[in-house]
Amino acid sequence: MRAVTQTAPGGPETLLVTELADPVPGPGEVLLDVAATAVNRADLLQRQGFYPPPPGASDVIGLECSGTVTAVGPGVTAWTVGDEVCALLAGGGYASRVVVPEGQVMPVPHGVDLVSAAALPEVACTVWSNVFMVAGLRPGDAFLVHGGGGGIGTFAIQLAAASGARVLTTAGSEEKLARCRELGAEVAINYRDEDFVEVVRAATDGAGADVVLDSMGAKYLARNVDVLADEGRLVIIGMQGGAKAELNIGQLLSKRGAVIATALRSRPVEGKARICASVVEHVWPHVADGTIRPVVSAVLPLDDVAEAHRMIESGDAVGKVVLTP
């Protein structure tokens, strides 16, 4: 199979398309012919040597894909050869073939083409598990998501709006702010020249945000706690702004607030399977009826993987960048 490999961690230029042996599905696993994969910020960290795959996972980068089932391992009952699916991966997506535990394979939602479907698994599972399963976002809640123009952000805006929440978001350009509003954000904040704490408080009559989804980590921790409403929940899913910061526990106690840090990739297979099943049950109907759509900035061939990484790294892309083998 064709796959992206590296000889050493580094910049986008270290990514090379080479030939590797085809994977073979084991018990409870499914083999997919990959139609497309999508680039995530976690992929950039893995390329740089900061985010190694969990034990037993493929060294090939790539946390999601879409494709066609070409073989099933012993004990697989949910899928048959020829099924068109998308999948959440622990690794291996930047390839023409990949093996996936059957519980992490999901049907392509009705109305979504097979290539665009590659942009759904990671963002759908991340947003649903963190914002709804963990933080318990409810209709009428004020929801703040940072990085509204990215893959996670564009999906979170749509799903939260579809659930009846009031959506507020941050982004760094007028183009992205406009796109966020189109997707359902009631308030779009330019983090370069506006204080999101002040804007959120003004928009919520001083109450603050009931749920905050953050990938910045340390850089935003103090202000994220500041912007929380009473009994608010801050969910941290990334460390783009650093790993260590001071936490004002007194302020958190006074708000009866919660700070939760979660990761999807390192969860056990059984946990990922539960999330995927819940996504299919609760999220896919919104995708199928057109309320939520995958946001794809560009589709590039796998040979242009370095350029795809540069696009995500620059912050210019809105939504996801997709690669086709």
Q: CA separation (Å) from 84 to 113, 267, 285?
A: 10, 25, 17
pLDDT score recorded for residue 44:
97
pLDDT score recorded for residue 23:
97
Rounded Cα distance, 106 and 270, in Å: 14
Question: Each residue of 287-297: pLDDT tens digit?
Answer: 999 999 999 99
Q: CA separation (Å) from 225 to 95, 136, 185, 212, 246?
A: 41, 17, 21, 9, 11
Per-position pLDDT tens, the chain of length 325: 999 999 999 999 999 999 999 999 999 999 999 999 999 999 999 999 999 999 999 999 999 999 999 999 999 999 999 999 999 999 999 999 999 999 999 999 999 999 999 999 999 999 999 999 999 999 999 999 999 999 999 999 999 999 999 999 999 999 999 999 999 999 999 999 999 999 999 999 999 999 999 999 999 999 999 999 999 999 999 999 999 999 999 999 999 999 999 999 999 999 999 999 999 999 999 999 999 999 999 999 999 999 999 999 999 999 999 999 9
Instruction: Spell out the SS3 assignment of the chain.
Output: CEEEECCCCCCHHHCEEEECCCCCCCCCEEEEEEEEEEECHHHHHHHHCCCCCCCCCCCCCCCEEEEEEEEECCCCCCCCCCCEEEEECCCCCCECEEEEEHHHEEECCCCCCCCHHHHCHHHHHHHHHHHHHHCCCCCCCEEEECCCCEHHHHHHHHHHHHCCCEEEEEECCHHHHHHHHHHCCCEEEECCCCCHHHHHHHHCCCCCEEEEEECCHHHHHHHHHHHEEEEEEEEECCCCCCCCCCCCHHHHHHHCCEEEECCCCCCCHHHHHHHHHHHHHHCHHHHHCCCCCCCEEEEEEHHHHHHHHHHHHHCCCCEEEEEEC
